[in-house]
């Protein structure tokens, strides 16, 4: 069976050679299905490093005088989650990979990008003390249309890497909300208000919540609020990418 898959993969590469997700140039190595060397180098150069907002992970000015600094948004409204971190900004090579992962049915790409971060030692250790890993849920109708929940695929990889249990059913989306993509920051908050509910018993005290993209943090914040109402005391958020203003 493995030999058959190898032959099929070789035929696909012959007729449909893999291309770099970011620049669309053909990949010289058929075994590499993520980025060309140039875009890979750009990926490494764009990963998000300190100084970051200690709560939401927003990049701060390089002249910030302390790592324990809040961005303006978090000073105005403290989020319900304890901390949020992302590997890369949404623009550039990482954003191109995430878009292909999310909208082009290339399910492996999210895990590939996450794996790149883990292998390179970029995966943050701030979730080490969490009891469970949990994906941001999709509504059942949205999941049926898309065929998969991208956050759940990522959460499975993270849970395996950290050796933590994966909790798929304790948090559910009870409203099929509009896409957040075209909404304003205020509209995003309103769109996801009361969109989630906690289900079942045994809510862990500390959770690492996983999603693919952090934009304004409205979805992560609403999830964290729901989890804390259900007895969770510490919700940390990890995403592959985040928007950077």
Contact indicator for 83, 236 with CB cutoff of 8 Å: yes
Contact indicator for 126, 209 with CB cutoff of 8 Å: no
In a domain, 35, yes or no: yes
- Residue ranges making up the domain that contains 88: 22-242
In a domain, 191, yes or no: yes
Q: What is the tally of structural domains in the chain?
A: 1
At residue 15, the pLDDT reads: 47
Which runs of consecutive H residues, i.e. helices, occur in the chain?
2-15, 37-46, 72-76, 93-103, 108-119, 140-146, 150-162, 185-192, 218-229
pTM of the model: 0.89
In a domain, 2, yes or no: no
In a domain, 228, yes or no: yes
In a domain, 17, yes or no: no
Alpha carbon 20 to its chain's center: 20
Positions of the chain with pLDDT under 70: 1-17, 29-33, 63-68
pLDDT tens digits for range 169-213: 999 999 999 889 889 999 999 999 999 999 988 899 999 999 999
In a domain, 73, yes or no: yes
Contact indicator for 234, 205 with CB cutoff of 8 Å: yes
In a domain, 5, yes or no: no
């Amino acid at each position: 069976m493995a030999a058959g898959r190898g032959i099929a993969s070789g035929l696909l590469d012959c007729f449909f050679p893999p291309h770099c997700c970011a620049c669309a140039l053909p990949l010289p190595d058929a075994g590499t299905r993520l980025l060309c060397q140039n875009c890979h180098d750009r990926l490494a150069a764009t990963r998000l490093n300190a100084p970051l907002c200690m709560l939401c992970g927003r990049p701060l000015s390089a002249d910030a005088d302390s790592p324990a600094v809040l961005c303006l948004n978090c000073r105005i409204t403290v989020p319900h989650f304890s901390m949020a971190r992302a590997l890369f900004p949404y623009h550039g090579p990482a954003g191109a990979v995430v878009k292909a992962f999310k909208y082009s049915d290339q399910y492996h790409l999210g895990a590939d990008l996450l794996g790149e971060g883990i292998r390179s030692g970029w995966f943050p250790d701030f979730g080490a003390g969490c009891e469970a890993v949990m994906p941001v849920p999709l509504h059942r109708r949205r999941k049926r249309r898309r065929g998969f929940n991208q956050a759940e695929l990522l959460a499975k990889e993270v849970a395996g890497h950290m050796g933590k249990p994966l909790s798929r059913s304790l948090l559910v989306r009870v409203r099929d909300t509009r896409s957040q993509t075209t909404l304003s920051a205020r509209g995003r908050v309103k769109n996801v208000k009361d969109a989630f509910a906690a289900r079942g018993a045994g809510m862990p005290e500390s959770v690492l919540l996983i999603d693919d993209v952090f934009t304004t943090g409205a979805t992560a914040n609403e999830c964290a609020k729901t989890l804390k109402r259900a007895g969770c005391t510490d919700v940390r958020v990890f995403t592959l990418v985040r928007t950077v203003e």
